[in-house]
Amino acid sequence: MDSTLKALHRNVAEWLAGPSGSVFLHLVIILALLFLVDLSAPPEDLATVEVVYLEPDAPPIEPPPPPIEPPSPDPEPDPSILQPPEPGPADEPPAPPPPEEFGQNPSLESTPELGFDPAISVLVIKDIPRGGLGQRMGAENRQKAGDLHGGPWAPYAEVSVRRALEWLRTNQNPDGSWSTHDREAMTGLAILTYLAHGETTASVEFGETVKRAVQYLVARQNAEGEFARIDTTAGTYAQAICVYAISEAYGMTRIPSLKPPMEKGVEVLIHGQQAGGGFDYRFEKGPRRDTSLGGWCSQAMKAAFIAGSENSRLKPAMDLAVADMKSAQKADGSFYYSNKDSHSTHGITAVAVLSMQLLGSGREKAVQNGLDFLRAAACDWKNPPNWPMYAWYYISQTKFHQGGGSWKSWNNQFAPEFIHHQNPDGSWDSAGLSLEAGTTGRENMHRVYATTMAALTLQVYYRFLPTYQPIAEKPVEAGAGDDVKIEVL
């Protein structure tokens, strides 16, 4: 029996190990699996889970940048604006008061000779490098600038500017100055207006006007380099504006006798700068600093730098001025006037922004924040801000240097306002003076101020080339034999 069972077991094992047994075992396994698997459809309410794979070190998603101001549609200017006014009798210029003497100021009875050589001056003007003032020279260059940056209002603005230049010529005082008070500052602004149009002492039409004006400022400067009494608020502003004008005059003419007045005037500004980079009335060194005065000083230092001032402290002073402007910014991007509790306006903010743009810091975050704040600025002649001609002068320049849709939109807004509100004789009255009598806190300057500021604003697209580039240190020789260096921006 045992042998029989053993034989049976052996036969079964051999059968299972053989082909037939292997097939049988696989069938049994398959049937068992079929009984274990549920082939019914899943319930309809079964939730679907979506699996998302994330990178372990993925950076956070940055919010989208703020939208760029869309450009306004091009307006259709009135062709009648291009018609020049009918010529009329020249206005009799007012008799100026006797000059106010200060320090060692020379007498105006004998104005200094400038040593002007037309051939040399015109030759050097052609060599002014890109980034300087060469783009102003000649109607063709100004027209090219208008085609690039002036928009549809460029030809109309040009006619307005020429009207203003003619009005200034007929209203120049016999001694070469303008106005009956603040004459140094007003004369400086008038010179800047002519220079912005490429009119120098070599100009056929306005050369004599510019020459007499420059002679007046040179005669007003005393031995210490002061063009006005810097122990007064008005005199402090006048000093900066006069340095600005003389520096541009030297940069565009290369008249050798203009370099010493420029250098002495620059030294007064640098000496008057505070340790933190700011400027205050009467160039005081106390805790107060003034954004408005700092703006004119910044423009003057930039002009002297372009003209080739050899003052070794000029570039550090410019850098300090940038630091001062940055210290005056508020959380909303605006800049305050003198201290954190003082007012912040579009005009004052534009002063700080333009100063930083001109001094080589246009890419700073502070500038962008200031430009964002200026998006809300408007040019409405019937509803002007305080000191409108001043504010619009600065805002227009900041928008121009910003470029793009911001400049195009602003240009299409302010240019027609200025052009349509020019007086028939070519002058301007401040927008603030159009308000009802008795309104306080508005601009209350004479026509020379309003006319020069308006013209300078309309000239913005060829006064300077738009640039955010840092100021380069490498000088370029002027090649005129007068050892003057020009800085490339």
Using H for helix, E for strand and C for coil, what is the string for 414-434?
A: HHHHHHHCCCCCCCCCCHHHH
Sequence-separated contacts (24+) of 57-63 with Cβ below 8 Å: none
Q: What is the pLDDT of residue 181?
A: 82
Look-up: residue for tokens 């509803």? 383
Contact 68, 404 (CB under 8 A): yes
pLDDT, residue 177, reads 96
Q: What are the boundaries of each domain within the chain?
A: 115-327+443-487
The amino acid present at 318, given as its one-letter code, is: M
Q: Residues of 19-38 as b/e, b for ≥16 C-beta within 10 angstroms? A: eeeeeeeeeeeeeeeeeeee
pLDDT at residue 258, as a whole number: 97
Say how many C-beta atoms besides its own lie within 10 A of residue 439's C-beta: 11
CA distance 104 to 222: 5
| Average pLDDT of span 102-106 | 39
Confidence class of residue 466 from pLDDT cuts 50, 70 and 90?
low
Residue with tokens 């018609």: 83
- Can you tell me whether residue 329 is helix, strand or coil? strand
What are the DSSP calls for 463-482, one per residue?
HS----PPPP--EEE--SSS
For the chain, percent of residues with pLDDT exceeding 90? 55
Top mean pLDDT of 8-12, 28-32, 218-222 is at 218-222
The secondary structure element, H or E, covering residue 486 is strand 485-487
Q: Which of 139, 185, 190 is nearest to 169 (CA)?
A: 190
Q: From CA 334, how far away is CA 347, in angstroms rounded?
A: 10
Q: State how far the Cα of 475 lies from the Cα of 175, in Å rounded to an integer.
A: 37
Token duo for residue 337: 């006037």
Strands 485-487 and 475-477: antiparallel
Residues 236-292: tens digit of each pLDDT: 999 999 999 999 999 999 999 999 999 999 999 999 999 999 999 999 999 999 999
Half-sphere exposure for 488 (CA within 13 Å, toward CB)? 8
Is the pLDDT at 187 greater than 90, yes or no? yes
335 beta partners: 329
The Cα 171–Cα 449 span in angstroms is 13
* Rg, the chain, Cα only: 37
pLDDT at 152: 78
Q: Kind and range of the H or E element at 139? A: helix 139-145
pLDDT averaged over the chain?
Answer: 77
d(CA 471, CA 306): 10
Inform me whether the pLDDT recorded for 83 exceeds 60. Answer: no
State the Cα–Cα distance between residues 397 and 143, nearest whole angstrom: 19
CATH code for the part of the protein at 115-327+443-487: 1.50.10.10
* Burial (CB count within 10 angstroms: exposed 0-12, middle 13-18, buried 19+), residue 44: exposed
Q: Which of the 8 DSSP states describes residue 230?
A: T
Cβ–Cβ under 8 Å, residues 193 and 456: yes
Residue 401 near residue 467 (C-beta atoms within 8 A): yes
- CB count in 10 Å sphere of residue 471: 19
Q: Per-residue pLDDT averaged across 441-464, rounded?
A: 82
Ranking 12-21, 79-88, 237-246 by mean pLDDT, the lowest is 79-88
Would you give the DSSP letter of residue 485? E
| Position 200 pLDDT exceeds 80 | yes
d(CA 417, CA 103): 43
Q: How far is CA 393 from CA 97, 265, 292, 350, in A?
A: 29, 24, 13, 9
Q: What does pTM read for this prediction?
A: 0.73
The pLDDT assigned to 462 comes to 78
| 206 alpha carbon, distance to own chain's centre | 28
